[in-house]
Structure 1
Amino acid sequence: MDKRNENVNGVKLAYIERGEGTPVVLLHGFCGSSAYWEEVIPLLEGSCRLIVPDLRGHGASASPEGAYTMETMAEDIAGLLEKRDCKQAVVLGHSLGGYVTLALAEKHPDKLLGFGLIHSTAFPDDEKGKEGRLKAMETIKEQGLPVFLEGLIPKLFAPAHLKTMPEAVEKARQIGLGTSPEGAVRTLEGMRIRTDRNAVLFGARVPVLLVAGAGDQIIAPERTFSVSGEHITSVTLDGAGHAGMMETPQVLAQAILDFTAKL
């Protein structure tokens, strides 16, 4: 899919823009890119104006210096919306993209028609998680990104899909190889120091969509479904692990369409 570029906050951000209707921003996860959403985009573009960026350090976007905090990446998305003359949008974030979405909801609630977490969580890293981030940073610096991805990619999928969906698994690996190694390290640091944002979920004044994969090996469903309320829609993807946009794209797309139709 053809990508465009915008200079946002001094950083070149690549993005896909397709379709018409309710503005919907789709944010990918760590070591992903807008290509993660390629199965979902055709299912949504008839009803939505999709803006699907590569986050800084990922895909075709630039990899500037400094730690990529969730707040910094949220400002990238806020700036991209302004550049695209999009005053309000539904922002849905996968994993890392969900952390960015929560930071955006905290800092710029006025820009959101609604928002959602897909295989993501409002909880911060615990001490074990922080240790894991440091270990990942060391692996990338000392052994290279491909070695790190060999450990990461199989965890993105429900175990059965490693055998039944080899093309999707390989696609995720190839997308991961497109990540800047320096950008990956800077993003890991940003994820490691992120704060608890359950209060953002609880206090949201707009509808919230929470989507979890029943077989997610990275973020258990109960960590996604940390808050409930009248403004929150919770969806479990029975056949998915951590990559519902590749494992069960039609079911995920329908959940997004049902959510946006109610706005």
Structure 2
Amino acid sequence: MKSFNYKQTPIYYQDEGEGKPLLLIHGFLENSSMWNDFTKLWKSNFRVIRIDLPGHGNTAAHTYLHSMAFYAQVCHQFITDLKLEKTIVVGHSMGGYIGLELIHQFPDKIDQLILLNSTALADSEERKAERTRAVKAIQQFPEAFVSMAVKNLFLPENQNRLKQAIEQAIAEAKKCTTQGIIATLEGLKTRKNHQETLAKTKVKSTIVAGKKDQVVNYAPTKQLAKETSTRLVSLPGGHMSHLEFPQETFEIISNLIAKE
């Protein structure tokens, strides 16, 4: 992997292929490896760039609060250092929250934003309380927390079918440091509501949602798309569309980015 420095912290990334830049941003407890299979197919037509965000994968935690705005600033420096004039951004879950911060802070750098299993809405009070409890759990039982948190991203009916993929996802999640997980949970809990950003942006935006998503619920996502006049594409699965329905997810995103 290659790296660049953000305030003396090495940020690791992968850069493959040639053509229009395609920046892939992973979610919480994930890293750049989540995009491996898609990258193999996209790199023949695009310059595919994948980052390990601070506290994830090979990149160490940076501070005690990894806000979405902070992650967006890291990605912006990354885009600037690579001298990318315009890029397409695909963000999974938390990666979508970061993508929204990018079009909020640096809209001139983004050509298109695809929110995969993500939303512009902030955490509810109930969800914030869940994240507070999660911080306490990770401090006491780090490995057990990671395993359970990753398993809960998958629909119960897919647990057996995707057993190997779940085990791999857990192994990748365990690369996150406890500090990084806590810092990111705090950042997720305090993130802004970007419904207005999505409604007013001139950046072409699409939400790709799972109808059974148990993390980013489908009904509010559908309403959000309607209220912000954002294109919504639906899939039959849950929160992990890239693993539950990989072919369908690949085809949907490929069709969207091919139009750029």
TM-score by length of structure 1 reads 0.94
Match of 1:249 in 2: 246
For structure 2, which runs of at least 5 residues remain unmatched after alignment?
none
Shift of the 70–157 alpha-carbon distance from structure 1 to 2, 3 Å rule, reads same
Q: How much identity, in percent, do the aligned residues show?
A: 29
Query: d(CA) in 2 for partners of 1:45 and 1:154?
Result: 30
Preserved contact between residue 196 and residue 228 of structure 2 (Cα < 8 Å): no
Runs of 4+ more than 4 Å apart: none
Residue 180 of structure 1, CA deviation: 1.1
Partner residue of 2:3? 5
Select the residue among 58, 61, 65 that pairs with 1:60: 58
Q: 1:165 aligns with which of 162, 166, 173?
A: 162
State the one-letter code of the partner of 2:139.
K
- Aligned residue for 1:26, secondary structure, equals strand
Question: Which runs of 5 or more structure 1 residues have no equivalent in the other structure?
Answer: none
TM-score, normalising length: structure 2: 0.95
CA separation in 1, counterparts of 2:83 and 2:247?
29
Per the alignment, residue 140 of structure 1 pairs with: 138
- Per the alignment, residue 154 of structure 1 pairs with 151
* CA deviation after TM superposition for structure 1 residue 228, in Å: 3.4
Matching residue's letter, 1:245:
H
How far 1:157 sits from its partner (Å)?
1.7
CA contact (8 A) 1:44 1:253 kept: no
Residue by residue over 1:212-238, the C-alpha shift from the partner in whole angstroms, topping out at 9 and shown as x without a partner, is 112222111233331238973321122
User: How large is the Cα RMSD of the aligned pairs?
Assistant: 1.6
Aligned residues: 259
Give the drift of 1:12: 1.2
What is the aligned partner in structure 2 of residue 77 from structure 1?
A: 75
Which residue of structure 1 lines up, in the alignment, with residue 39 of structure 2? 41
Mapped partners of 2:257, 2:31: distance in 1: 23
- Hey, what's the Cα distance between the residues in 2 that align with 1:233 and 1:26? 19
Partner of 1:109: 107
Higher deviation after alignment, 178-187 or 242-251: 242-251
